[in-house]
Structure 1
């Protein structure tokens, strides 16, 4: 969002857009016989790029805040990146995931799920189109897949959501999609539970930052169900709304779920 409030420039190559990376998911696809589902997983998944070489976290949980993975639901709940991952030169993924030993209070008794790193050689790519790929990491205890995209000539979009009317008595799955890629980034999935709303009315999203290719559209999607007093579903909403990418400023849209309104804002920014 560093350049959201500057004058809008034409979104063309050379006006601040550049190649970036979008990460769609990190998934544990297989475990070996010395581990059993469900798994209480903690640790980090991060990316370093040449903008500042610091870790840009995609997933970060301590031992006292594990995510439980099952054989039917083994996607890590990503919470990053905090800014766009730039592809000026080769970015590096770092993965350090462990499985908590439920019978021990000592971290020394935990098992390594995945301890690995890998780079993406973006410099060797000479194509003109964005594309996706899946990296498969096989180790002693597991197989992990990382799904990501090389997004050509793109800008950053930071997304926020707020309850503008009513309450947060609805469940929601919010997604963002770059039309030139066609795969969803999950911004929020409450899995049938009410959305979490802070005192200011802001809805806490799991992920907020995505990248969109210049001249492409960002499609925001929502699947929501208003919940009654006993948690039963009543009003349902399934809708999508698109914005053409731009170099700065904001777009907004309202989604109405029963008596509640969800106000979503997209803040656009070039990368440099």
Structure 2
């Protein structure tokens, strides 16, 4: 049996026959369930008080997962429970409440799964990979250099195999984008660490994982500076690399691990 893993690149909300009118303030959950433990693996989660505004220019849900690689030996179940925020909680409306099973066969390359109802369609951009390891991005930190490189915000994406960074992010995982945060500032903690939205990526063993770090210009419409760094996939280990962006240096730390394919493996390691 071929051991398959599924990479989720993006989730996009599109209208159905003109019934969906953007902008909308959306909250709820999108999750995947695989054959490992059948638990929810959260891809998107927003509370009502922290809803996301969807616009015609940005109809993509800002993903925060998965928390571990999605194993697709047989199939993957996707659960979508989204609501539209109204003036009061009693005026909130259900946007979509649906579950579907994605099998995909042995389709190679980029694929799209569609989840639809009367009002809208959720487009999942995904890809199945074989012979993979899990890359967990432990940290991204500005370690030295000149002025703060993200004064006007920025974006960090990764891809495997390495992709050219263009407007289309079809096969790239967005780890953080300041345009998705309140005020357009780069989310950060202390000591130069950046707060990433996503941390887990599946990488084929014979490939490399490329990180591209971009700093926006003052206008926010262009890229002022950009740098990249590549990591060769490893079966297990911790890798560190430096990405130079302008006069600053950004350190990226990645942990490599095999993927759990059976619930018993989790139990034997003492995890629930």
TM-score (norm. length: structure 1): 0.81
**Alpha-carbon displacement from aligned partner over 1:141-164 (angstroms, at most 9, x marks no partner):** 112211111111111001121121
CA RMSD, Structure 1 to Structure 2 (Å) = 2.8
Give the alignment partner of residue 175 of structure 2, picking from 153, 177, 187.
Answer: 187
Give the alignment partner of residue 245 of structure 1, picking from 225, 228, 233.
Answer: 233
- Report the CA distance between 1:34 and its aligned residue: 5.5
* Structure 1 residues 16-35: aligned runs within 5 Å: 18-30=3-15, 35=20
Say which is worse superposed, 72-81 or 259-268, in terms of deviation: 259-268
Aligned to 1:155: 133
CA contact (8 A) 2:96 2:117 kept: yes
Matched, 1:44 2:23: no
Separation in structure 1 between the aligned mates of residue 230 and residue 247 of structure 2, nearest angstrom: 23
Aligned to 2:263: none
Separation in structure 1 between the aligned mates of residue 84 and residue 16 of structure 2, nearest angstrom: 11
Separation in structure 1 between the aligned mates of residue 150 and residue 127 of structure 2, nearest angstrom: 35
Structure 2 portions without partners, runs of 5+:
164-169, 261-272
* Structure 1 residues 62-211: aligned runs within 5 Å: 62-101=47-86, 103=87, 105-106=88-89, 108-121=90-103, 124-125=105-106, 130-159=108-137, 160-165=139-144, 167=148, 169-170=150-151, 171-179=153-161, 183-191=171-179, 193-211=184-202
**Alpha-carbon displacement from aligned partner over 1:243-263 (angstroms, at most 9, x marks no partner):** 221111122222233453321
Separation in structure 1 between the aligned mates of residue 134 and residue 15 of structure 2, nearest angstrom: 33
**Alpha-carbon displacement from aligned partner over 1:20-55 (angstroms, at most 9, x marks no partner):** 110011101215656432100000000011222110
- Report the CA distance between 1:79 and its aligned residue: 0.5
Say which is worse superposed, 58-67 or 28-37, in terms of deviation: 28-37
For these two proteins, the number of residue pairs brought into alignment is 247
TM-score (norm. length: structure 2): 0.81
Bigger relative contact order, structure 1 or 2, given CA contacts below 8 A and separation 6+?
1
- Report the CA distance between 1:226 and its aligned residue: 7.0
**Alpha-carbon displacement from aligned partner over 1:108-157 (angstroms, at most 9, x marks no partner):** 422221211111225x43x7xx4221012221111221111111111100
Separation in structure 2 between the aligned mates of residue 41 and residue 269 of structure 1, nearest angstrom: 35
Separation in structure 2 between the aligned mates of residue 261 and residue 193 of structure 1, nearest angstrom: 22
Separation in structure 1 between the aligned mates of residue 114 and residue 54 of structure 2, nearest angstrom: 18
Aligned to 2:251: 263
Separation in structure 2 between the aligned mates of residue 89 and residue 265 of structure 1, nearest angstrom: 32
- Report the CA distance between 1:233 and its aligned residue: 9.9
Over 3 Å counting, the alpha-carbon distance change for 1:218 and 1:252 in structure 2 is same
Separation in structure 2 between the aligned mates of residue 147 and residue 225 of structure 1, nearest angstrom: 26
Over 3 Å counting, the alpha-carbon distance change for 1:234 and 1:72 in structure 2 is closer
